[in-house]
Structure 1
Amino acid sequence: MSTARVEAAAGGRVLWLDNGIVRLGLVPELGGRLLSLSRTGGPELLWRDDRLVGEDLLPRVPHRPHSGRLGDWVNYGGDKTWPAPQGWDHDGQWAGPPDPVLDSGPYRAEVRDGDGTATVTLTSGDDPRTGLGLTRCVELDDDADGYRLRLTARNTSDRPVRWALWNVTQLDGEGPGHTEVAGPAEVVDLLAGTGFPRWSDGGGLVRVPHQDVVGKLGFPAATGRLSHTGRDAVVTVDFPVDPDADYPDRGSRAEIWIECPQPAPLAALGDLDPPARIVECEVLGPLTELGPGEQTTLDIVCTVEAGEGST
């Protein structure tokens, strides 16, 4: 029988959740990131930049919260939570990454295990620009082949704000593989660094293969499932959708961003310099008006299956 537990390493700077089936590594000081996900004893499934963090998940150089343009972002990789919509035009858009609180600031960690579930709750500082504080609660059950993630955005300011929760999971885009989005083939072009990713309609599934492009697609008709097939496993994300709600980015309930190395930084994207072939599986909650002290939540379930990637 598998028993879920939390292990603290490097003086509590890294928290490992393990139930003998899957293993997760969380780093509170790096924006509350999940930086490792694997079947226990198996290969790493998340993309992370090994030039920036070691196998122990600790940064190779001292970490400092920072802001700036996209080209200034210290992209460790992994899974993280941001507010949406993203943008740099007005205060109703989140001007990151990077930002010094929600993306690169330290998160407070609370740990609990026993009774069949190991739980780590990560809470950000209060961000004066967005008016938000974010919480990421990760739960791993005994004998489970995945984990639950409850996201919370709380208005910590004295003014009304309007945001959506936005969870971003970076996965390895090398070699054969694809991502599938459940739902009708309603696809919107959102962002082109070098172009928009190509896709195909699979009849109730939209398939986006690994490819050499820098760009993003949105899925307004997504029905609540994203599934990435890579070389070593299939990672599936299930999430709720509200057909009557207003979503960011032209109504996108889910998004896929793909990037690959370029000969020079992309000036049109704030000098973003893609470090590798990366696929981002992105889940969004509805845009929600929050008065002071109010909050919104989004529940995600991630499962991991052994498998071999194919196009």
Structure 2
Amino acid sequence: MTAPRIEERGEVLWLDNGLLRLGLAPQLGGRLLSLAVPGGPELLWRNDELLTDGLETRAGHHPHGGRLGDWLNYGGDKTWPAPQGWSGPGEWAGPPDPVLDSGRYQAITAVTGDAVTVTLTSGDDPRTGLRLSRKFVLERGKRGYTLELTARNTADRPVRWALWNVTQLAADGPGHAEVAGPPEVVGLLAGTGFPAWEPAGDRVRVPHQDVVGKLGFPAATGLLTHVGAGGTLTQAFAVAEDAEYPDQGSRVEIWTECPLPTPLAELGDLDPPARIVEIEVLGPLTTLAPGEETGLTIDCTVEAEGAR
């Protein structure tokens, strides 16, 4: 079996163990922007108008704020604080924002004989009071990786947030997302409508569709899967049964979007660049005293096969 390794190309870090290849962009909000079996198709969606195949920006971009319509959506996998909103300091008013979403993350790498580790850490965000860390671990002989998330309170006041990991995947062909657990589903946001869903045994299935909207899953049991043309990505995580979760108790959220004739004024002029599905894992809402932190671990595995 191939020993895992890290290759640095410009500002991009490539992790490879012979079975799986990850491309990380610390300078773009600590994103994972490429995930594929070597020689196989890309699993994640990324914005080719903004990024080259080498994950470098095509033109100079700068950290910025503004409305959703101003957001430079690079794609990939990233971590934000929840709940999201614009009505007060207890809600994260992004994306965009200049620190947690589009800011530069510090990268620390480590290599052993059996694993490579990259820890990406944000700057201190004055609005939320948070510093986010994303630790990727790729081991020898595994077609998967572990993502360990941490949110630390760097402010001089208590703050209350949940970790929120967002993975964007292409939805321009056959495919679906599946959430393990009973069919308890809440409509969270209807840009053009709420996405359609259907029970599928012990899971809930959300097919690819031309709808801009979001569903929440308060009864999710800790397994979230996307099946698409590039293969199958499964994310496993622990749920805290008695804890409070954001967005009507949602432990998982599914967002779908598609290009529109005109931007959605009611969503800050959001103008979706492509057919995209987001699979989103949330941690519980946690009150953090200054210096305290909360964590969330997601075990990700890949099956390199077509949609089924």
Shorter-chain TM range is over 0.9
List per-residue Cα deviations over 1:53-74 (Å, max 9, x = no partner).
0001001111211111000000
Which amino acid in structure 1 is aligned with residue 66 of structure 2? Answer: G
- Judge conservation of contact 2:40–2:304 (CA < 8 Å) in 1: no
> Could you tell me how far apart the structure 1 residues matched to 2:39 and 2:21 are?
8
Give the TM-score of the pair, scaled to structure 2: 0.99
Of 260, 263, 266, the match for 2:264? 266
C-alpha offsets along residues 190-214 of structure 1, whole Å, 9 cap, x if unaligned? 0011000000011310000001100
Partner of 1:234: 232
CA contact (8 A) 2:131 2:152 kept: yes
Q: Which residue of 2 aligns with 1:193?
A: 191
Letter in 1 for 2:213: G
Q: Deviations over 1:114-161 (max 9, x none)?
A: 130100000000000000000000000001111000000000000000
Equivalent in the alignment of 2:129: 131
Aligned counterpart, 2:118: 120
User: In structure 2, what is the Cα distance between the partners aligned to 1:268 and 1:70?
Assistant: 10
Distance 1:53 1:306 in 2: 24
In the aligned structure 2, how far is the partner of 1:108 from the partner of 1:94? 22
Task: Give the deviation of 1:240 after TM superposition.
Answer: 0.8
What are structure 2's unaligned runs of at least 5 residues?
Answer: none
Aligned to 1:216: 214
Alignment-derived partner of residue 61 in structure 2: 63
Q: Secondary structure at the match of 2:183?
A: coil
SS at match of 1:8: strand
Q: Report whether the alignment pairs 1:3 with 2:3.
A: yes
Q: Secondary structure at the match of 1:118?
A: strand
Aligned twin of 1:30: 28
Q: Please name the residue that 1:285 is paired with.
A: 283
Q: Deviations over 1:169-207 (max 9, x none)?
A: 000101110111000000000001100000001131000
Amino acid at match of 1:203: G
Offset at residue 232 of structure 1 (A): 2.3
Q: For 1:201 and 1:210, how far apart are their aligned partners in 2?
A: 15
Q: Distance in 2 between matches of 1:232 and 1:164?
A: 30
SS in structure 2 of the partner of residue 268 of structure 1: helix
Distance in 2 of aligned mates of 1:214 and 1:46: 19
Paired residue type of 1:142: R
8 Å CA contact retained: 2:3, 2:113: no
Matches within 5 A, 1:159-170: 159-170=157-168
State the AA in 2 paired with 1:305: E
Given residue 22 of structure 1, which amino acid in structure 2 is its aligned partner? L
Residue 78 (structure 1) shift: 0.2
Identity among equivalent positions (%) equals 68
Counterpart amino acid of 1:282? E
Cα-to-partner distance string for 1:91-111 (whole Å, 9 max, x where unaligned): 000000001100010000001
| Secondary structure of the corresponding residue to residue 150 of structure 1 | strand
Task: Write out per-residue CA displacement over residues 256-308 of structure 1, whole angstroms, 9 at most, x where no aligned residue.
Answer: 00000000101011000000000000000000000000000000011000221
AA at the equivalent of 1:23: R
> Residue type of the partner of 1:98?
P
Structure 1 runs (4+) deviating above 3 angstroms are: none
Could you tell me which of 176, 179, 183 is aligned with 1:178? 176
Distance 1:59 1:117 in 2: 29
Aligned 1:84-163 pairs, distance under 5 A:
84-163=82-161
User: Paired residue for 1:250, among 248, 251, 261?
Assistant: 248
Give the number of aligned pairs: 308
3-state SS of the aligned residue for 2:247? helix
Q: Distance in 1 between matches of 2:88 and 2:177?
A: 32
Residue 197 of structure 1: SS of its match in structure 2?
coil
Residues 4 and 113 in structure 2, CA contact (< 8 A), matched pair in contact too: no
Cα deviation code 1:213-271 (max 9, x no counterpart): 00000000000011100012010011110110000000000000000000010101100
